[in-house]
Chains A and B, each alone.
Chain A
Amino acid sequence: MAERCAVIGIGQTKHAAKRVDLSIAGLVREAAVRALADAELTWRDVDAVVIGKAPDMFEGVMMPELFLADALGATGKPMFRVHTAGSVGGSTAVVAAHLIQAGVHERVLTVAFEKQSESEAMWALTIGNPFQPPVVAGAGGYFAPHIRAYIARTRAPDHIGMQVAVKDRLNALRNPYAHLHMPDINLEKVAASPMLWDPIRYLETCPSSDGACAMVLASESAAARAPRPPAWVHGTAVRSEPISFPGRDEVNPRAGRDCAAEVYGQAGISDPRREIDAAEIYVPFSWYEPMWLENLGFAGEGEGWRLVDEGVTAFEGELPVNPSGGVLSSNPIGASGMLRFAEAAMQVRGQAGEHQVDGARVALGHAYGGGSQFFAMWIVGSEKP
């Protein structure tokens, strides 16, 4: 790996159910303009644009990067479009980082978005094709059996999922960009909310959001001129496995374990629980926090729920998970992964505002997608790798 890569600018939109005040182009610009302002750069300083989003049917625009080229100042530049399902926001940042690390560019603007209000994700996920198993009930219906299998395996008590839901919504109160601000959230309210896909209750589910996230990634020499402290990329990794085959472990997928092992290896991390100060993990349904804690090696198999139960992952805990409020508080699908990566970078830059974890020096950004089969991760740090 020849060149070092740093995050020198971060921007995101105010996420909401419907940003009717903005077109799709306006939405991505809101995030991109903020990222450029953070880096004190202009459109002219950007060498290339790397954009990601989840399925095009979520807005009903085929390859929307073509029409977004004007809005993102990409005229005369390379514009690249990534799509790896829910993990796309993370994968997009990884592709952008690779352009810096390979020495192709000095500064890359990377953007991810979803404007769910333009269409209906549940409908888009439900299109039936001959000879393929349908995902009739959207993502929640697909993942509920995996969660039930986790509970059956680990005998985790009922309240764990609800506890994650409360924790992330309380964290979101510290994040002005979060979609959901629910000051009166508590376990009783979550328990009383309708059961959507057993055991996933309404309040244990991510919202449907409009939103975008953008980052300016830079080479070491470009980062040296950045006005604010950069976040240094210590490692990036992606892994994929097939959606289904006999014997596949969907609860604790090997692709996730392999991906974590590679990214920790690059970052020189041998004990993630001790060496990582904050983690932004893709948790669209509350139970995925304990599940991914195990998959990522923060807890032994069957032990992830105990970290939740003991408050280890709470904002004041030893390993704060999703101090931003996470996907449970804002879910512009294509951007959700990049928000995890960007929030991790904000922590090590010391720029997370009210949700800043004290003294965070090393952080993990994580995203997953498809049938728990696509993974993208990065480790960022306040020091050069």
Chain B
Amino acid sequence: MRDVAIVSFAQAPNVRRETSRDEVEILVPVVAGAIERSGIPRAEIGFTVSGSCDFLAGQPFSFVLALDAAGAWPPIRESHVEMDGAWALYEAWVRLQHGDIDSALVYSFGKSSPGDLRDVMVMQLDPYYVAPLWPDSISLAALQARAYLESNGESNGHSERDLAAVAARSRASARDNPNAQLAGDCDVDALLAQPYLVSPLRKHDCPPISDGAAAVVLAAGDTARRVCERPAWIRGIDHRIEPHALGVRDLTRSPSTALAGERAGVHDGPVDAAELHAPFSHQELILRDALKLGDEVAINPSGGALAANPMMSAGLIRLGEAARLVMDGKADRTVAHATSGPCLQQNLVCVLEGE
């Protein structure tokens, strides 16, 4: 495979409700920032690809106007996925393997605030057998959390205290992230004193609702070395999906993450830090198990999805944050993960390295 690296990353400040700007207006400075930081002139970027979701925008073709943020004149080679921007990055990585172009722009965006996200997410469930029951996204996650806690037993397994510890650590880490939505010191006992939102999940176990956007520039080989002091090289990237029907899955494990991690080469070297797209606290524990990440690995130094969860961008942001650790010289080898679908149905894993 051709060497391809992340050479720049930008994101919008994550907020609960962006009332004064539409998606394109949020994107314009983010895309411009990523391009400017990459040092590659817009006209020289060979491929552009984005990720977004019409059901968040509440209208078809919501990506069409977003093209204005990318700048598509003269016409550009461009594609769009109805997936998290992490998968858009995957398409760009594949496209760069062809060798005819040396750089690509990836962006994603979404405003969750105009609708009721818990209900909107029901629309992505099986329309014949599941969606008519209206199981909202928090309830499905709670089902998974209950299965996870009970599968391990009280004595040797995880407890609600472990979930609260994940939340407390995430918010503490987010203090260093100016784009995070929830940050600060939390006491685990105080968190556990809070009422359940949907048992066994409390509010801190669930992601905030965020409006946001992100952009990444990829470059290949010598172009990456020329524009970036320390490119974050993509050493492996893979994604896998599981069945949709919750009844045929073991919700306490994430075999698709394990397989994608194996194929991306997570275990081919030591991991300094991992950015895991775990919107719910228990999912971080499931993902750590799947990727066999030990206590020596720094998990979600950005604060992760529990500190900010902009739909369609939260996965791409994990890739951007994991790359930034390498680009800033804070880590030599990092892992980034993105998820989609109910209860971690679909997962992408990427290994990034400095040279």
- Is A152 on the interface with B (CB-CB < 8 A)? no
Instruction: Tell me the minimal C-beta distance from B201 to chain A in angstroms.
Output: 22
Q: CB-CB contacts of A56-99 with B at 8 A, as 1s and 0s?
A: 11111111111111100011111111111100000100110011
Inter-chain contact A254/B243, CB cutoff 8 Å: no
- Is A240 on the interface with B (CB-CB < 8 A)? yes
Inter-chain contact A55/B244, CB cutoff 8 Å: no
- Is B81 on the interface with A (CB-CB < 8 A)? yes
Q: B1, B72, B95, B240: which contacts A242 (Cβ < 8 A)?
A: B72
Inter-chain contact A99/B94, CB cutoff 8 Å: yes
Q: Report A-chain residues with C-beta under 8 Å of the C-beta of B346.
A: 66, 69, 79
Inter-chain contact A254/B75, CB cutoff 8 Å: yes
Q: Report A-chain residues with C-beta under 8 Å of the C-beta of B76.
A: 239-241
Inter-chain contact B79/A55, CB cutoff 8 Å: no
- Is A23 on the interface with B (CB-CB < 8 A)? yes
What is the bound-complex CA distance between A65 and B63, given in angstroms? 18
Stretch from B54-62, B166-174, B205-213, B298-306 at the A interface: B54-62
Inter-chain contact B79/A69, CB cutoff 8 Å: no
Inter-chain contact A62/B120, CB cutoff 8 Å: yes
Q: A2-B97, A127-B58, A255-B75 are in contact. Are A66 and B82 (CB under 8 A)?
A: no
Inter-chain contact B79/A104, CB cutoff 8 Å: no
- Is A353 on the interface with B (CB-CB < 8 A)? no
- Is A102 on the interface with B (CB-CB < 8 A)? yes
Inter-chain contact B94/A102, CB cutoff 8 Å: yes
Smallest Cβ-Cβ distance to A240: which chain B residue: B78
Inter-chain contact B241/A242, CB cutoff 8 Å: no
Q: A75, A127, A243: which contacts B67 (Cβ < 8 A)?
A: A243
What is the bound-complex CA distance between A58 and B240, given in angstroms? 26
Instruction: Tell me the minimal C-beta distance from B98 to chain A in angstroms.
Output: 5
Inter-chain contact A78/B242, CB cutoff 8 Å: no
Inter-chain contact A83/B63, CB cutoff 8 Å: yes
Interface residues of A in 329-385 (CB under 8 A from B): 370-371, 373-374
Q: A1-B99, A258-B74 are in contact. Are A85 and B64 (CB under 8 A)?
A: yes
Q: CB-CB contacts of B288-325 with A at 8 A, as 1s and 0s?
A: 00000000000000000000000000000000000000
Inter-chain contact B240/A77, CB cutoff 8 Å: yes
- Is B333 on the interface with A (CB-CB < 8 A)? no
Inter-chain contact A57/B60, CB cutoff 8 Å: yes
Q: Report B-chain residues with C-beta under 8 Å of the C-beta of A83.
A: 63, 80-82
Inter-chain contact A243/B64, CB cutoff 8 Å: yes
Instruction: Tell me the minimal C-beta distance from A196 to chain B in angstroms.
Output: 21
- Is B259 on the interface with A (CB-CB < 8 A)? yes
Q: A62, A70, A131, A239: which contacts B75 (Cβ < 8 A)?
A: A239
What is the bound-complex CA distance between A360 and B63, given in angstroms? 37
Inter-chain contact A238/B61, CB cutoff 8 Å: no
Smallest Cβ-Cβ distance to A371: which chain B residue: B64
- Is B274 on the interface with A (CB-CB < 8 A)? no
Inter-chain contact B53/A240, CB cutoff 8 Å: no
- Is A103 on the interface with B (CB-CB < 8 A)? yes
Smallest Cβ-Cβ distance to B259: which chain A residue: A76
What is the bound-complex CA distance between A237 and B100, given in angstroms? 12
Inter-chain contact B60/A124, CB cutoff 8 Å: yes
> What bracket does the count of chain B residues touching chain A fall in?
35 or more
Q: Report A-chain residues with C-beta under 8 Å of the C-beta of B1.
A: 102-103
Smallest Cβ-Cβ distance to A59: which chain B residue: B127
What is the bound-complex CA distance between A101 and B98, given in angstroms? 7
Inter-chain contact B124/A61, CB cutoff 8 Å: yes
Smallest Cβ-Cβ distance to B239: which chain A residue: A78
- Is B123 on the interface with A (CB-CB < 8 A)? yes
- Is A24 on the interface with B (CB-CB < 8 A)? yes
Q: A81, A124, A125, A239: which contacts B82 (Cβ < 8 A)?
A: A81
Q: Report B-chain residues with C-beta under 8 Å of the C-beta of A23.
A: 128
Q: B74, B77, B243: which contacts A69 (Cβ < 8 A)?
A: B243
Q: A62-B123, A243-B67 are in contact. Are A1 and B100 (CB under 8 A)?
A: yes
Interface residues of B in 114-139 (CB under 8 A from A): 120-121, 123-128, 130-131
- Is B83 on the interface with A (CB-CB < 8 A)? yes
Inter-chain contact B99/A241, CB cutoff 8 Å: no
- Is B275 on the interface with A (CB-CB < 8 A)? no
Instruction: Tell me the minimal C-beta distance from A224 to chain B in angstroms.
Output: 22
Inter-chain contact A60/B60, CB cutoff 8 Å: no
Inter-chain contact B75/A104, CB cutoff 8 Å: no
Q: A69-B243, A70-B243, A258-B74 are in contact. Are A98 and B94 (CB under 8 A)?
A: yes
Instruction: Tell me the minimal C-beta distance from B92 to chain A in angstroms.
Output: 10
Q: Report A-chain residues with C-beta under 8 Å of the C-beta of B64.
A: 85, 243, 370-371, 373
What is the bound-complex CA distance between A54 and B80, given in angstroms? 11
Q: Report B-chain residues with C-beta under 8 Å of the C-beta of A2.
A: 97-99
Q: B53, B80, B127, B242: which contacts A75 (Cβ < 8 A)?
A: B242
Q: Select the residue from B97, B99, B259 with max chain A CB neighbours within 10 A.
A: B97
- Is B107 on the interface with A (CB-CB < 8 A)? no
- Is B65 on the interface with A (CB-CB < 8 A)? yes
Inter-chain contact B83/A131, CB cutoff 8 Å: no
Q: Report B-chain residues with C-beta under 8 Å of the C-beta of A91.
A: 79
What is the bound-complex CA distance between A242 and B100, given in angstroms? 24
Inter-chain contact B340/A95, CB cutoff 8 Å: no
What is the bound-complex CA distance between A313 and B248, given in angstroms? 52
Inter-chain contact B80/A82, CB cutoff 8 Å: yes
Instruction: Tell me the minimal C-beta distance from A366 to chain B in angstroms.
Output: 15
Instruction: Tell me the minimal C-beta distance from A298 to chain B in angstroms.
Output: 20
What is the bound-complex CA distance between A273 and B48, given in angstroms? 31
Inter-chain contact B60/A127, CB cutoff 8 Å: yes
Q: A54, A62, A69, A374: which contacts B244 (Cβ < 8 A)?
A: A69
Instruction: Tell me the minimal C-beta distance from A92 to chain B in angstroms.
Output: 10
Residues of B within 8 A of A (CB): 1, 22, 48, 53-55, 57-61, 63-65, 67-68, 72-83, 87, 90-91, 94-95, 97-100, 120-121, 123-128, 130-131, 238-245, 248, 255-256, 259, 340-342, 345-346
Sample (11) of A-B pairs whose CB atoms are under 8 Å apart = A61-B127, A63-B53, A77-B241, A81-B81, A84-B79, A104-B97, A131-B22, A240-B77, A242-B73, A254-B75, A258-B75
Given A76-B240, A77-B240, A82-B81, 12 other A-B residues pairs in contact with their CB atoms under 8 A = A63-B340, A63-B341, A66-B124, A70-B244, A78-B239, A85-B61, A102-B98, A131-B22, A132-B65, A239-B78, A258-B74, A258-B75
